[in-house]
Amino acid sequence: MSVSWPHAFAVWRRSASMYRRTWKLTLLPNFFEPVFYLSAIGIGVGAYIEQMGGTSYIEFLAPGLVCVAAMNGASFEVTYNVFVRLHYEHAYDAMLTTPLEADDILIGEIAWAMTRVLIYGGSFFLAVAAFGLAPMPSALLAIPVIPIAGLLFAVVGLAFTLRIPNMDLFSFYFTLFLTPLFLFSDVFFPIRERLAGPLLLVAELLPLLHPVRLARAAFEGAWSWTVAWDLAYVLIVSGALLAWTRRAIRERLIS
Amino acid sequence: MTTPPAESIAASDRTPRADDSSVVEIRGVVKRFGAYTAVDALDLDVPRGGCFGLLGPNGAGKTTSLRMIYGVTRPTAGTIRVFGIDIGADPRAVRARLGVTLQENVLIEALSAVENLRIFGRYHRLPGAELSRRIEELVDFLELGSHARLPVRALSGGLQRRIAIAMSLINDPELLILDEPTTGLDPAVRLALWSRIRDLRARGTTVIVTTHYMDEAERLCDRVAIMSAGRRVCEGAPRELIETRLAREAVELDCTRAEAVRLEAALSGAARPLRIGNRLTLYSDDSDPVVAAIHRLDGGERRALIVRPANLEDVFLTATGAKLEGGA
Ligand SMILES: Nc1ncnc2c1ncn2[C@@H]1O[C@H](COP(=O)(O)OP(=O)(O)OP(=O)(O)O)[C@@H](O)[C@H]1O
Ligand SMILES: [Mg+2]
């Protein structure tokens, strides 16, 4: 991979300059979405649930929603925003008239998506900790799960964005892909206790379950061999999709 | 012609063939998209320090050729050297020394010219202080004035085009590539842009420009190459092309196909015909016998004629317009 880090940083700065102008508009909704889930479902629905997975329901929700915050932080950036830069602003065509190369663009964009992941995932984690829902110090180990989950969803989203011809298809991505992940990845209930064999297998192949299990292991301080499998899954799938997006961005930009 | 002829002649004397002074050297380049051949066996040398025009009808392969020069389209066959560097081997080194204004503007509409220039300058890794100095110079050079601080989307097409050109000058390039810089601009803005391009040329910048305006190419370019269907059909200084490939004068008239056939027979090769629809143009170094032949054909009643010096548009049409003529 021929990444020039200073050039990738210039790509990162383009997005950062644009974000600086609009962060007040996007930060609040993105931050409050998981807070609403946590409070409405945790406090509201949680009142009717004695316990789940050995804790109160709101405590059960917290680690999964940290991962969801990371997933959302990455997803909006690498879908709509990258699509607009690619097809409407022709930002990458402009970059390729300078010493920048396709790899610098890819890494700069992923780095920027990761920055948003850290902003959204990190601030939500702080909120969870402030409400006393993150047992210390074991929950601190969930902090590295935020960029791990973020990277995974950055490359998953990019792989989709770089292949689709028009923006309408993002509704499929969000409604038919991210929403079921959100609902069936151990965030709201332990799927192992409610889903049957083949469905469990499907869930095991999908990306959100693994970061959620890692974050939950950190919150509970209960480590098992599954953690190794979850980590391996996240690293292998991220690596494979990174290689794939590298090819895809080249094919999009260079003829 | 408004261009001082001395300038064109001097330019045409400049090394037409490859040597060390060629900034761009294209050899046997072919570009296929699937089964379609967009650029075919192209050889081109762009001499250092002049303005080089790349002309041709829509789809001739101009943009594709330019993209291959700065390395975002890869030739199917052949080699391209820019500043003596193989573009496929080291595109970063080449692109650090050139600037490109794309056919479509790529400005960030919500930002001002100054902010756009700053973001773009970072792609070249210009340090902050030098970048600020370059931005100030370019705002002056392209006379952006107070418009430089307004969001780009609030500006006219002419101003946006000037900002796009300013961006491609941010790294003080040795080679400036302009893909249709004046399309859609009003005459005054076009004139102003030509004078900026001449300023750059005077400073030693090599300029490659594509345009569909032949008057522009004739006035601005030291050399032009005309492409058609991916091939180079002719190349030279504009005046030289007009006189060697065509003739000094042109006579234009409206006539039917049958009349045209009779007239061409009467002239028996004394003038070169070009027919597009009902319009017939006859090229010859001396138009008097041509006009006389037309009057003989008309008998008593005389039709409207235009007698004028031949220009680059005539060369363009005779070199590329064969299909139009056949299809009309
Ligand atoms: N990426 C591509 N894939 C397939 N065909 C392409 C691609 N890029 C260009 N072409 C085709 O190659 C031909 C030459 O295109 P090019 O853009 O170079 O023409 P041009 O001379 O710049 O035309 P114009 O004056 O309209 O800008 C066209 O027929 C175009 O459709
Ligand atoms: Mg073009």
Domains of chain B as residue ranges with CATH: 11-236 (3.40.50.300), 242-319 (3.30.70.120)
Of A6, A95, A255, which has the smallest distance from its Cβ to B125's Cβ? A6
pLDDT in tens, A119-140: 999 999 999 999 899 898 999 9
Contact B99 A14 (CB under 8 A): no
Query: From the alpha carbon of B34, which atom of ligand 1 is closest?
Result: 4
What does the pLDDT read at residue A196?
83
SS3 category, B175? strand
* Angle subtended by helix axes A5-39 and A57-76, to nearest 10: 140
**Minimum mean pLDDT among A60-74, B5-19, B82-96, B310-324: which range?**
B5-19
Separation CA B250–CA B274 (nearest Å) = 10
Q: Which of residues 73-92 of B touch A (CB under 8 A)?
A: 73-74, 91-92
pLDDT in tens, A30-46: 778 888 888 888 888 88
pLDDT in tens, B24-77: 999 999 999 999 999 999 999 999 999 999 999 999 999 999 999 999 999 999
Please provide residue B225's backbone torsions phi and psi, each rounded to the nearest 5 degrees.
-120, 135
Separation CA A237–CA A152 (nearest Å) = 7
What does the pLDDT read at residue B13?
39
| b/e map A205-225, b = 16+ CB within 10 Å | eebbbbbbbbbbbbbbeeeee
Contact between residue A64 and residue A185 where contact means Cβ atoms under 8 Å apart:
yes
Q: How many residues does chain A have?
A: 255
Separation CA B55–CA B216 (nearest Å) = 11
Model confidence at A28: pLDDT above 80: no
Task: Write out residues with Cβ below 6 Å of ligand 1.
Answer: A 255; B 33, 36, 38, 56, 58-64, 103
Model confidence at B10: pLDDT above 70: no
**Minimum mean pLDDT among A50-64, A234-248, B202-216: which range?**
A50-64
What does the pLDDT read at residue A22?
82
Model confidence at B14: pLDDT above 50: no
Q: What is the CA radius of gyration of chain B?
A: 22
DSSP A85: I
What does the pLDDT read at residue B322?
53
Separation CA A15–CA A151 (nearest Å) = 17
Identify the residue among B29, B68, B122 best suited for mutation to test binding to A, counting A beta carbons within 10 A and taking the highest: B122
Which residue on chain B is closest to A94 by alpha carbon? B106
pLDDT in tens, A196-216: 888 888 888 999 999 999 999
Higher-confidence position of B177 and B324 = B177
Model confidence at B226: pLDDT above 90: yes
Average pLDDT, chain A: 92
What does the pLDDT read at residue B149?
94
pLDDT band at B9 (very low <50, low <70, confident <90, very high): very low
Token pair in block for residue A207: 């990306």
Residue bearing the CA closest to ligand 1, atom 2: B33
Model confidence at A160: pLDDT above 70: yes
Tell me the mean pLDDT in the region B166-177.
95
Average pLDDT, chain B: 88
Question: What sign for the dihedral angle of Cα A208, A211, A215, A217?
Answer: positive
How many angstroms does the Cα of residue B59 sit away from the middle of ligand 1? 5
Separation CA A116–CA B103 (nearest Å) = 33
Contact between residue B151 and residue B111 where contact means Cβ atoms under 8 Å apart:
yes
DSSP A174: I
**Minimum mean pLDDT among A16-20, A40-44, A59-63: which range?**
A40-44
Tell me the mean pLDDT in the region A46-53.
84
* Angle subtended by helix axes A102-130 and A5-39, to nearest 10: 30
Q: Which of residues 15-34 of B touch A (CB under 8 A)?
A: 33
Model confidence at A52: pLDDT above 90: no
Separation CA A182–CA A153 (nearest Å) = 12
pLDDT in tens, B175-205: 999 999 998 888 888 898 999 999 999 999 9
How many angstroms does the Cα of residue A146 sit away from the middle of ligand 1? 44
> What DSSP line would sit under B128-147, residue for residue?
HHHHHHHHHHHHHHTT-GGG
For chain A, helix (H) and strand (E) counts, in that order, are 12, 0
What does the pLDDT read at residue A202?
87
Which residue, among A158, A128, A116, A153, has the nearest Cα to A64 in the 3D structure? A128
Which residue, among B323, B310, B102, has the nearest Cα to B228 in the 3D structure? B323
Task: Give the start-to-end residue ranges of the domains of chain A.
Answer: 5-253
What does the pLDDT read at residue B21?
77
Which residue, among B23, B184, B183, has the nearest Cα to B99 in the 3D structure? B23
Of B104, B110, B111, which has the smallest distance from its Cβ to A90's Cβ? B104
Contact between residue B71 and residue B91 where contact means Cβ atoms under 8 Å apart:
yes
pLDDT band at A1 (very low <50, low <70, confident <90, very high): low
How many angstroms does the Cα of residue B37 sit away from the middle of ligand 1? 10
| b/e map B167-176, b = 16+ CB within 10 Å | bbbbbebbbb
